[in-house]
Copies of this chain bind each other. A is one copy, B any other.
Amino acid sequence: MDAVKPKIALIGGTGDLGTGLAMRWVAAGYPVIVGSRDARRAEQAAARLDPSVGAPAPRGLDNAAAAAAAEIVVLTVPFASHEAVLAEIRDAVAGKIVIDATVPLVPPKVARVQLPPDDSAAVAAQKILGPGARVVSAFHNVGALKLQKDGPIDCDVLVFGDKPEDREVAIRLAEAAGLRALHAGPLANSTAAEALTSVLIGINSRYKVDGAGIRISGIPVT
């Protein structure tokens, strides 16, 4: 993976988080494909990304085509469309690593933890995609707008997945985006980071800040 950079599709990639991750991965030289329900919007979003020297120009496709064209598929969609988008890309992701960043927020009370039936969006994704997809989850707690700016981000990325080698892929991509990322256990543990996002939203409001994040203390910074 370090020699030839894999193609990354950002499903729902026209949103804030997708845009932020796309900007950082393009800057790091990765071939990026922006996916959207609407292929034209995807193309427009891809055209706004500033291609780094030497990286292929970002492309825009509809979600299913983006997932089919990529080696690694990253899901950045609102929870309300999670299930529908998973159905759209299902056939295209067999055997691929799918990094799900979905947080099960239920408006209007987004600062209140409201777990989905499977306790986490990530476990629901694995169930819908079937055993062929290599689902990991990550990027739940990092602010989208911070990703869209340059510079370091004071937030760790917790990476969940049942296979350490699949988590490792997500960890390297997080590092390529300038973030510290950690192995955080099986996919079932994703509940912790997904729930924490509601806590952080509440903390932002209570303490009048706009960028609360998390850091794991007690381990050497890498």
Q: Which chain B residues lie closer than 8 Å to A200 at the CB level?
A: 216
Chain A interface bracket (under 10, 10 to 19, 20 to 34, 35 or more): 35 or more
Judge if A215 is at the interface, Cβ distance under 8 Å: yes
Q: State how many angstroms separate the Cβ of A136 from the closest Cβ of chain B.
A: 14
A113 and B118 CA atoms in complex are apart in Å by 12
Contact B196 A219 (CB under 8 A): no
Judge if A14 is at the interface, Cβ distance under 8 Å: no
- C-beta contact mask, A103-115 vs B, less than 8 Å → 1, else 0? 0000000011111
Flag the segment in A37-45, A52-60, A64-72, A179-187 that touches B.
Answer: A179-187
Q: Which chain B residues lie closer than 8 Å to A184 at the CB level?
A: 199, 202-203
Contact A192 B199 (CB under 8 A): yes
Q: Which chain B residues lie closer than 8 Å to A209 at the CB level?
A: 218-220
Known: A185-B111, A189-B113, A191-B195. A217 touches B213 (CB 8 A): yes
Known: A155-B217, A216-B212, A217-B214. A195 touches B192 (CB 8 A): yes
Contact B192 A207 (CB under 8 A): no
A60 and B214 CA atoms in complex are apart in Å by 38
Q: Which chain B residues lie closer than 8 Å to A220 at the CB level?
A: 209
Contact B198 A195 (CB under 8 A): no
Which of A112, A158, A196 has most chain B Cβ within 10 Å?
Answer: A196
